[in-house]
Amino acid sequence: MRVLSLFSGAGMGDLGLMLAGMEIVGQCEIDKYCQKILALRFPETIKWKDVRDVTGKEVKEKLGTIDVVAGGFPCQPFSTAGNQRGSSDDRHLWPEMFRIISEVRPTWVIGENVPGIIGIALDDVLHDLEVAGYECGTFVFPAHACGAPHRRDRVWIVAYSGSHGHRVINRPYEDSEAQRCSKSHGQKRERIRDISRRSGKTLAYTIKPGLEGHSGHGTNGNKPGWDGAGQDRSVGEGGLFDWRKYWNTEPQLGRVAHGVPNRVDRLKALGNGQVVYCTKFIGEQIMRFKNADAANPNR
């Protein structure tokens, strides 16, 4: 499956999709340090610097058919670390990503953002995709669900056009279509608000030191490999991983790595990047669906 990666960062999310068996044929990233990393790690991949300069026509001319458009569009308009200004924030770039999706018309879309988007703009994102002919699934899961030793909750949006979707998406996106869907749009808004209320206790971090990941854990039974004694048997290299000790002590380390070249740029890239095994997991599910669909075309 051929992937156009938007907001590529240092390529960590792209690496996960590659591990799932996908091919990264195009990337777009505005950060200069990350551009250097992408040039080093993906030397043959065609690249753009600014998502606002990417057009469907150029993508088709340079890349040909695109099966997947993937991107973690900027989280600053929705993050609790900022002012959560949503669409009034000039860093709100979902409209640009959706414009590219509408012009490129991939079969699959993978979007990623912070949980703060749920009560601010998730409704609009899903509405845009559904009007364009996509069926959407939205998931919230932490990095430790895929084996990473930290929480890092993220919202993942997976959209699929399918055979019927292609007939819809071949028509240009028009505001009049959105108006015709206003009733369902309002109903969906109420569902999203309900999700937001129920997920409000799940925080990616807290202002109280030493409690990162503790707020909103809920029951322990939903953790992979949970053994009921504060240890996760799904993680670790030959042993048990005590996530409670890690989350209690890790914030006190100060996140300083002395003597490392480009330390600030590296930390920024890691902070903004996606966890490799999270995108790998999602990519694997898409590949599995694709293979099953190919084996049973009439299902």
Instruction: Choose among 108, 169, 146, 160: nearest CA to 19.
Output: 146
Active site residue 75: yes
pLDDT at res. 111: 94
Catalytic residue (one of 75, 146, 181, 278) = 75
Assign domain 2-200+259-295 to a CATH class. Answer: alpha beta
Instruction: State the maximum Cα–Cα separation within the chain, in Å, rounded to a whole number.
Output: 59
Cβ-contact 151, 213 below 8 angstroms: yes
**Residue (of 21, 26, 25) closest to 7 by Cα position:** 26
DSSP state of 116: G
For residue 241, give the amino acid letter: F
Q: What pLDDT does 44 receive?
A: 94
Strand partners, 226: 232
Task: State the Cα–Cα distance between residues 66 and 70, nearest whole angstrom.
Answer: 11
- Contact 3/68 with Cβ under 8 angstroms? yes
CB count, 10 Å around CB of 158? Answer: 20
Cα→Cα distances 106→62, 128, 165, 216, 230, Å: 15, 15, 10, 36, 43
pLDDT at 100: 96
Burial class (CB in 10 A: 0-12, 13-18, 19+), 246: middle
Predicted confidence at residue 88, as pLDDT, reads: 58
Mean pLDDT by 10 residues, the chain (299 residues): 96 96 97 95 96 95 96 74 60 88 96 86 90 93 85 91 51 42 45 49 35 35 40 43 47 59 85 89 93 73
Tell me the CA distances in angstroms from 6 to 3, 46, 73, 119, 140, one per residue in order: 10, 12, 8, 24, 21
| Continuous H helices in the chain | 12-19, 32-41, 56-63, 94-104, 122-131, 162-169, 175-180, 182-199, 243-249, 263-272, 276-295
**Identity at 119, one-letter amino acid code:** G
